[in-house]
Amino acid sequence: MSRPVIAALAALFVLAACGGASVTTTPSEPPTVVHPNGEWQLIEGSVDGQTLTLPPDVPVTLVVEGSGVSGRSGCNQYFGEFTLVDGRVTLGGLGGTEMACEEPIMALEAAYLGGLAKVDSARMDGETLVLTGPAVELRFERTG
């Protein structure tokens, strides 16, 4: 061994023998664990600075089952892949049915699906699931 390594080891042994300085660490609070599996309904949201208008008779839903996601986007059904690791979300392969509805509902659907595609993180705010991304915040309450 070289002299610097021997000197460092000797200093370490001296500190240990003399009691050394103790380091006390306080465990930080664990982050809120997000378990999004289940059925959720959108209760409010904004995409690109625009608040989503949610008609009471037009549910927008999110169903997470393992690595799959699906739901109602207003007029149509959608589906895709969902991955959540350490609060980071990846949504991919989004597709859906292509029925036509009245314009206000089609605008809601387009904004929601556009926002959903930008989602990159998930957290719980009390009992509310919050999905966020660049210029997107979607808040859901559990329905099932």
Comparing CA positions, the residue from 117, 109, 110, 112 lying closest to residue 133 is: 117
19 pLDDT above the threshold of 70: no
131 pLDDT above the threshold of 50: yes
Q: Give me the residue spans of the domains in the chain.
A: 38-142
pLDDT cut 70: percent of the chain above it: 76
What average pLDDT score do residues 115-124 get?
95
pTM of the model: 0.75
Out of 2.170.120.20, 3.90.79.10, 2.40.128.270, 1.10.230.10, select the CATH number for domain 38-142. 2.40.128.270
Looking at residue 34, its pLDDT comes to 61
- Rounded to the nearest integer, the mean pLDDT of the chain is 81
Per residue in 54-101, pLDDT tens?
Answer: 998 999 999 999 999 999 999 999 999 999 888 899 999 999 999 999
Per residue in 109-119, pLDDT tens?
Answer: 999 999 999 99
Looking at residue 87, its pLDDT comes to 82
